[in-house]
Structure 1
Amino acid sequence: MWTRTLLKNNAKQALRGRYWRSFWICLALSIAGLGGAGASSGSAARQAVDTTTGDTSSVYDILSGIPDSMLMALAVGALIGAVISICWVLFVLYPLNVGRCRYFMESRQSLTPASTVVSTFRRPYGNPIVVQLLTNLKVTLGYILLIVPGVYWSYCYALVPYLLAENPYMTATRAMELSKEMMEGEKWNYFVLQLSFFGWLLLCAFTLGIGGFFLEPYMQATYAEFYAAMRSKALATGMSTTDELGGFVRHDTF
């Protein structure tokens, strides 16, 4: 039976001698837009400033003084920017998300090369994108409808990126089904595990998110330990087999 203390101790052990490599990887991923403790804390701080200083009426005044042709150009630019952003998320951040999971799972066992993070840009490149897209669409739909289903599904499918990191050929239906089974009875425990970082995240907020960049490797290593515990449970209870979850070997085939 896993405990938060055990997972965190294992995470610290996994980071021993590997922390700075993990730090630079997490920092690069945060700059790319993958999120993390530093990015979320900094974003929260920026949103607080924007909310305090924003003046809606002045925005309307500014827009009313702009020629229609310029407004059209701005609208087209915004549309192009939105398309670029969507493509960036789908074709860059989704694979990097799976790659980050793979890196921290492999790092539990040995010093792992940083190139592991981008190994998901190899075959099967498209499948992890499709699976994560379908999963996130379902979660987003749950948030739009009643909020509660979205929260519930987000915890049910929390392990999907790790499953794809271990088996990039897994279908969306199977990944969501297996993640839901593995999270059965564990959703509250996982929430409490996330909540256990609240004090650190609060301190990071006072540094405008900078401290979050140093916290992120520890958090990711802890979540990797959580997946390892859920994986062991899945294999022990017959939810899956080693044919489906074969371990974290490097997928070097193009």
Structure 2
Amino acid sequence: MRTKQRPLFIAFSSQKGGVGKSTFTVLAAGILHYRLGYNVAVFDADFPQHSLMKMKERDLGMVMENEILKKLAYKQFTTINKKAYPIIQHRADGVLEAAHDFSDSSAVPLDVIFFDLPGTVNTPGILKALAGMHNIFTPITADRIVMESTLVFTQLLQDVIMKNTETSIKTINLFWNQVDGRESTPLYDAYIRVIDELGLSLMRSQVRSSTRFRKESEAGAKTVFRSTLMPADERLMKTCGLDLFMNEFLRITEL
């Protein structure tokens, strides 16, 4: 467990939409807060979508309508005696100051604050926000457009922002998401060589493709995967390799 006064600032960040930034923010936050005992908060700074705020509203409605999920939520609350982690809506501009203020005034000492940030680097305040992160995780898929966009974005972070003496960034970590076992291994090998030649860090764990990543809990569901109110089901985590990803995530962040 963390004993430092200041929480870790972590972002799943990419210049390309649809690769899983918001999904992984929710998955990681839920596992840390509800299962592993950390105290977490999330800043939804992805204006104007603010998809995490909308997701929490949907999750609340789903739990109230689904008796099985309602019992799971009640059991969780009585077992860990913790409320849902807060999601705070903010623009990228000024989000670091808002996060520090929130942490300082929090009745519960926070271990981690996650940031869901816009994908466009010309968004006001985005470069300052990224420079204030301690760890950045960037999902990638074996798609030429995604890779080109992501590699340019990551090099910008590494070559421009990290050379700024005021940066807080300790690590920038690329990781494979939506891995399809039917895709060509040589394709992945070629991308891995490019990543290595650019001196970028690639995580060992790979998260396999799953329809669960694109779904909220469905009516009649007996388990949850992507939810702001409960952690992902452990069996579903193993199915797509999310358990191994989280183990590596914990090692990198030193949580």
TM-score band, normalised by shorter chain: under 0.3
Query: Which structure shows the bigger proportion of residues in strand conformation?
Result: 2
Higher-RCO chain (CA-CA 8 Å, sequence separation at least 6) = 1
Instruction: Give the structure-2-normalised TM-score.
Output: 0.28
